[in-house]
Amino acid sequence: MILGTGIDLVELERIRSSLEKFGERFLKRILHPGEIAYCLTHQDPAPFVAGRFAAKEAISKAFGTGICGKLGWLDMEVGRKPSGEPFVILHEGGLKLLAERGGRKVHLSLSHTHHHATAVAILED
């Protein structure tokens, strides 16, 4: 049974601008070390950072909270299977919300173009 859905769309230039202006401080505020390392392996990390930004927004919407005190940026992480498929890793607040909502799994899909990154998240019981 689906408990919640979320979607988000991010303009790459917005993320690129934040990366240029705030650099590592911006990355550490929204991403886990493994996510940062993965994004920085690419010549242009902005699409990959934007995808993770959109993913976390979509996940927070699927939980029905948005990014807030109950669910912060670092309560969620986007991992990658060897196939490249993204998956959600929940930490602290994310695990607590999953239990509160009676959820079992969060499904995630990511995509990006030259101008946008998007993510869809589904919270399943």
61 is catalytic: yes
The set of residues, in sequence order, having a beta carbon less than 8 Å from that of 59 and lying 6+ positions away, is 6, 71, 76, 88, 94, 106, 108, 119, 121
* Residue 108 and residue 88 in contact, taking contact as beta carbons nearer than 8 Å: yes
Cα 5 from Cα 62, distance rounded (Å) = 4
Q: Which of 32, 112, 114, 115 is catalytic?
A: 112
Is the Cα torsion angle 9, 11, 14, 20 positive or negative in sign?
positive
Separation between Cα atoms, residue 37 and residue 23, nearest integer Å: 14
The active-site residue, picked from 61, 91, 96, 115, is: 61
81 a catalytic residue: no
List, by residue number, the catalytic residues: 61, 112
